[in-house]
Chains A and B, each alone.
Chain A
Amino acid sequence: MSFREKSAWISFISLLLAFGAYFGVVGHDLVAPGEHHPHYFILFAALVVAVVILEAVLHIIVAARSPSDAKSPRDEREKLIALKATRPAFYVLLVGSFLAIATMHLGAHVWQLAHAVLFAIWLAELTRFGTQIYLYRRGLSAR
């Protein structure tokens, strides 16, 4: 497995676990009408910092095991995989954004709208890294 594929796995799993847990915690409050919960912002910010640190540490460990692979620039296949993965992620973000806007018209509070947008971004990023992993595994052949 190349360094870039391992990187995609690290990002995918980190985002899935960290923010999956976050939306699991806030999910009930999101759908139920109620007042704003300011501590969720602190929790979210802490999670972002934790994910950044976790990903940095894991990437350093992976890079240390194959330094030449990590240092080399992306080759043509890796660039193409990164590019192709952005397309489905864009559509997920587009649909998610419109659905988030729709919640506003359904009477959602502004913090519910904000979380709907964050949820769409999260799904889009999972789609991007998931598609990269799929293309690394399956290949890019037109067959």
Chain B
Amino acid sequence: MSVSNRIRRLRFDHGEMTQQQLAERIGVTRQTVNAIELGKYSPSLETAFRIAAVFGVSLEEVFQFEPNAGQK
């Protein structure tokens, strides 16, 4: 299973928000935001909700669950 996200697109659509700005608003480092966007880290539920709240959208609009992705 795999979780993808549209954070980069949402940042662009919200005044070209930088990773640093998003990081400060959700309480993580810029590197963690970058890792989330690249799929290298799956955030906690709380952080995921914080990201959605920053953009004013639902969780599903930020993160998408792909049950069969990445399976061998």
Contacts and interface: CB of A to CB of B under 8 A. Distances in A.
24 contacts: A2-B29, A2-B30, A2-B31, A75-B27, A75-B29, A76-B28, A76-B44, A77-B28, A77-B29, A77-B32, A77-B35, A77-B41, A78-B29, A78-B32, A138-B40, A139-B41, A140-B35, A140-B40, A140-B41, A140-B42, A141-B40, A141-B41, A142-B42, A143-B2
A1 interface: yes
A69 B29 contact: yes
Nearest to B44: A76
Interface of B: 1-2, 27-32, 35, 38-44, 47, 70
Determine the interface band of chain A, counting residues with CB < 8 A from chain B. 10 to 19
- 10 closest pairs, A vs B, by CB? A139-B40, A75-B28, A2-B31, A77-B32, A143-B70, A140-B41, A75-B29, A77-B41, A2-B29, A141-B40
Nearest to A72: B29
A5 interface: yes
Nearest to A136: B31
A141 B28 CA distance: 17
The B contact surface, by secondary structure, is: loop
Interface string A65-105: 00001001001111000000000000000000000000000
A2 B30 CA distance: 8
Contacts of B31: 1-2, 5, 77
Given A77-B28, A77-B31, A140-B41, 6 more contacts: A1-B31, A5-B31, A76-B32, A77-B35, A140-B35, A143-B39
Nearest to A140: B41
A141 B32 CA distance: 12
B34 to A, nearest CB: 10
Given A140-B40, A141-B41, A75 B35 contact: no
B71 to A, nearest CB: 10
Most buried by A among B31, B38, B39, B42: B31
